[in-house]
Amino acid sequence: MLCNLCPLRRTCNQICDYVEPHLPSMEQGRVDYEDLLRIYQGKLMTQALLDNIEILTQRQQEVVTLYYRSVLSQKAISSRLGISQQAVADSLQRARTAVSNKLRNFIKMT
């Protein structure tokens, strides 16, 4: 959430002093390597979704923006858009799949 407010967000590739205290710590025994890997993979997927939002349908763009940029829950998004929570979950999954497929195709071409 802090990174969303940072003007350097799109070009930053490091953990800054503002974000570091909010991350789980291996030293404090709160997470293990697999947890950190999942957190990092989630961050990469989130960034890929936001960087490729133009390939998504209008509904997927709305849901992705509300979920990742506005940090709303699926329930809050469903209330705001007047759709079921399952429709929100489906839109998020379809958006992830669309971006994953685009990235896979890009990698195959290179």
Is residue 52 within 8 Å of 80, Cβ to Cβ?
A: no
Other CB atoms within a 10 A radius of the CB of residue 23 amount to 12
- Of 3.30.540.10, 3.30.56.10, 3.30.428.10, 1.10.10.10, the CATH number of 28-109 is 1.10.10.10
Give residue limits of the domains in the chain.
28-109
For each of the chain's 110 residues, which pLDDT tens digit applies? 445 556 565 666 565 665 566 555 545 555 666 677 777 888 888 888 999 999 999 999 999 999 988 889 999 999 999 999 999 999 999 999 999 999 888 888 87
Q: Which of 69, 60, 58 is nearest to 99 (CA)?
A: 60
State the pTM of this model.
Answer: 0.67
Q: Per the structure block, which two tokens stand in for 18?
A: 């503002």
> CA-CA distance, 34 to 42, in Å (whole number)?
12
